[in-house]
Amino acid sequence: MTNLSHEEILRYSRHLLIPEVGMDGQQKLKDSSVLIIGTGGLGSPVALYLAAAGIGRIGLVDFDVVDESNLQRQIIHSLDRVGELKIESARARMLGLNPGIQVDVYNEPFTSGNAMRIATGYDLIIDGTDNFPTRYLSNDVAVFLGIPNIYGSIFRFDGQASVFYAKEGPCYRCLFPEPPPPGLVPSCAEGGVLGILPGTIGTIQATEAIKVLLGIGSPLIGKLLLYNALDMSFDFVKLKKNPACTVCGTNPTVTELIDYEEFCGVPGHDTGGSIESDWDITPEELVEEIKLSSPRLIDVREPHELAISVMPGVENLPLGQIASRMSEFDSAQEMVLICKSGQRSMRALELFLGAGFRKVKNLQGGMNAWAKDVDPSLPIY
């Protein structure tokens, strides 16, 4: 039985003409609900296309606000919404596109404390997050609720997508039983991302969501898509359910939500700044330090980033080369490590500390803090 109005029949006519969708399929979409975690790069195209497709209820979880640096890829937001909550910006755009749907917003970080309450009742989850703790949390919530988790992830020119559905195939933990230690994998905030890439991957996630909801085609269950924009290559690998998986295996040890930040060793909800430590030096303190002892200034960013903003007198030692070039440094000399926001330099600091260096400091907040507090002639990026 369908109850599509004349208005809806006109709006969705291009769906109704496809035999795999038709009146019954469109009704199914109208009766469906999808929870989108994150309204950023991936969440933007997912939310727009699912709203346009007529998914009856769409949930959005995010607590971030729209920033100008988001607009290069987060196409659901616009310049006049900078400073507003992303969920409100997204909801306004979705309802502008399709007032016939319901958009429920959750202005909170997705955590072990609220995840089951938020996700219960949705037919599937779309993982559009930017950090490991929330990815493991989305996965586990989907496993416990017995619903699919549609995964997408991006870095620079590379994207991955899959449908993790423990009832019918592997879950995220089957492939990645544990996260990389903090710092081993750079984030997009540090590594950058092609603005169109989340469009490509997010659109694939939205496609998979529609297929799963309609029960048509072959979804990416047990398959991982590996996309590279530079080569324009779409490769697929097979994923198998891991019988020893801690959450969906035969003898699971994770049977309820855990502390994901502890599990991943990183905060899931990045505040943007670096973690404070005894080895930190603030931009103002560095000004004094340069006058007093002229420390060796080591910029650990990639060479092309120095073209964006640079401090006079620095030496460039990209993070990836530190281990092999350690011998070029003298542990008796004062050194200050510098990057964009203080995170990569923190990792560089750990490498130097591990090698026995003690006269080494980390510029808190990196070049962006330096630009803000000391040299406003430099840009923030």
Partner 1 sequence: MAILKIPTPLRPYTGGMSDINVDGENVGHALDSLLAQYPDIGKHLYNDDAQLRAFVNLFLGEDNIKDLQGLETPLSETDSLRIIPSIAGGAKG
Name the residues annotated as catalytic.
188, 339
Q: Is 121 in the site for partner 1 (CB under 8 A)?
A: no
Side-chain-side CA neighbours of 107 within 13 Å: the count stands at: 9
**For residue 172, which of 135, 210, 219 has the smallest C-alpha distance?**
135
Residue at token pair 């420390």: 295
In the region spanning residues 333 to 362, those forming contacts with partner 1, defined by CB under 8 A, are: none
What is the nearest approach in angstroms of Zn ion to the Cβ of residue 258? 14
Q: Which of residues 288-327 bind partner 1 (CB under 8 A)?
A: 302, 318-321, 323-324
3-state class (DSSP) for residue 67: coil
Which strands make up the sheet holding 33-37, listed edge to edge?
102-106, 57-61, 33-37, 124-127, 149-155, 158-164, 223-228, 233-238
Find the shortest distance in angstroms from Cβ 366 to partner 1.
17
The span of 156-164, 214-222, 304-312, 369-377 binding partner 1 (CB under 8 A) equals: 156-164
Place of tokens 């994901």: 260
Question: Are the C-beta atoms of 202 and 133 separated by less than 8 Å?
Answer: no
Task: List the single partner that 245 binds among partner 1, Zn ion, none, CB under 5 to 8 Å by kind.
Answer: Zn ion
Residues 59-78 binding partner 1 (CB under 8 A) are 62, 64, 70, 73
Least distance between partner 1 and beta carbon 69 (Å):
9
> What value, to the nearest 5°, has the Cα angle with vertex 188 and ends 185 and 191?
70
Q: Is 252 in the site for partner 1 (CB under 8 A)?
A: no
331, 353 Cβ separation under 8 angstroms: no
> Judged by CB under 8 A, which of 45, 54, 59, 128 binds partner 1?
128
Minimum CB–partner distance for residue 174 and Zn ion (Å): 4
As a residue count, the chain comes to 381
Minimum distance, C-beta of residue 300 to partner 1, in the bound complex (Å): 11
Q: Quick check: 237 and 226 in contact, CB under 8 A?
A: yes
Interface with partner 1, residue 238, by CB under 8 A = yes
Using Cβ positions, the residue closest to Zn ion within the complex turns out to be 245
Binding residues vs partner 1 (CB under 8 A): 38-43, 62, 64, 70, 73, 127-132, 135, 152-158, 160, 175-180, 184-189, 191, 193, 198, 224, 226, 236-240, 242, 270, 302, 318-321, 323-324
